[in-house]
Structure 1
């Protein structure tokens, strides 16, 4: 005789999971909102009243009040419930004032500080980034369609793409999209999901029209071979269409973080015998402080000739700077602690705010700890405000 299968919330249908959560919240509203239009259900608590309702309406006497709570976890797992983190407006304004960013546009989206700390920041910064991207998509979509989005590699961009896909999944009014993979493949065979092409799968069942521009190429190339690879038939189309991109989603890493993608890239190539063992030491000696889109930079400039290899990616740092200065183009930069060790990346973030040659972003999304650390670091406090700049121009 086979044992009865143990109940798990994942066994339930979408309709039931949603209905239970909706009913439970209605019961709470009836209990605590004096102006609620919902019926209370007597003296019972919300979970017990919801269990009675499921028994009467769905014929599920087995769903006791103890099983109501796991269904909320299941609803969150299926993205029926999404927690929006609070925004720390004061911290965001302090960063804008201290580093002289964001004030000319008068747009409070330029710097967005998410009220999350530590490991919680990983998910919540990405959620806030996805919501920001969605608002930009809707804004651009009112003027023209489709809206083109460039997807960078890495964990942060992956989470943004996944959340964005969930948000537009059932939205027939979302503008049509074209998604561009901004880097080719990946070097981590056990983590293919962090390759931008892998993000395309999240959008398979979206109601809105979604098209894709893949980038199929060698992951890396020598500096001498890079132009040849760019012009090859498999790669040429992706590069030719890069100028169509309206919104770039990317992140960065610190050279000091052993879990950063470029540093792991170097270590992978050293292990494979493709680079000398002292590659990382040599890069640090020439001032390597961070990387964005697999492109290393110092405290002041991109490191071009100093890097022994080049990952195949649509944009150089100078291209991102140009994009960020172009009207109706947006680069969303995500700044949060390392996903593995929790280390902050303040040393690598600071130059992206202080050096004009590294201002690769139009919108910055970061967590409270990163923001606080940034404000404690040396800053470009002498950058004139927009009002001061206008006075100079009038003289």
Structure 2
């Protein structure tokens, strides 16, 4: 990965790559959700609305967003919503299912199952053999139904309704149902995925479906494949960025970097990495662009070190206490403010002090806000993780 003078990749070059590779510049927008997901590798799926808003911001014909995204997710199954990096729910291209499961899911799955068995044992609940019976019965019921809610599955397998105490004597003590914990375990094990929601595209209540069949891959090979895919879309990135995004140990990151023959480059924050042959500047001209991206957008959440597109003094207003980014306003490759939807449907936005944008930016942002309002229409979207500026603007 080393050897010789490292090429320098400056902020302007990184912003140009972001505009084109993340389909944010108008000329780079995609025609279908599959193109957007492929370009970004993963769409954050913890908040279901984020998936649609992130796709819509990057489609040439925004009006198609909901219908086309639902088609890709639930009809063609070209995209799948499942657990991935950092124990978080994402939407991935279906062909990445095996890669994500092997590279990031196996270790988490083992811990989740062990934790469930341990918690049930502490509560005096049935043992692991009983749990295995319930699991097999539940998967059989899901296969027959195609898609189902936890309540529907409990009609076929009543043992899913059984409850057990959790963390007795602790401040966070409570009661869990077998269904809530078991379906979560099956999700991280790659056996089930989120299905069609109950209600509209903003609904947080989803049905479950069997996961697409996929081969079991070698962990190291899967990590190499995922890192190559992500670095192609998001490079350059630092070792810290890669460790944070994947959730892997640093030794795993370094092994995968070596396996793909990643090239070192100089960044303002230190050493970064790109895939082999990706050190030359982008020559495609990019006109200044504006975008209104949703909370948890994969671009805003793509790197741990964000100074090259987000000034540190803007962060208190735009992030919650857990590090989740809220809705952001972008101008020409950097975050300049935030936005929210008010109860009457208006898209309110604000450029934060010190962002330093002119009339061209103001006009472009206003046009994007109007485009967003026209598309969203009567739907009301409230981020699952709310941030100070979003709460203020939403009043």
Please, what TM-score do these two structures have when normalized by structure 1? 0.23
As a proportion of its length, which structure holds more strand?
Answer: 2
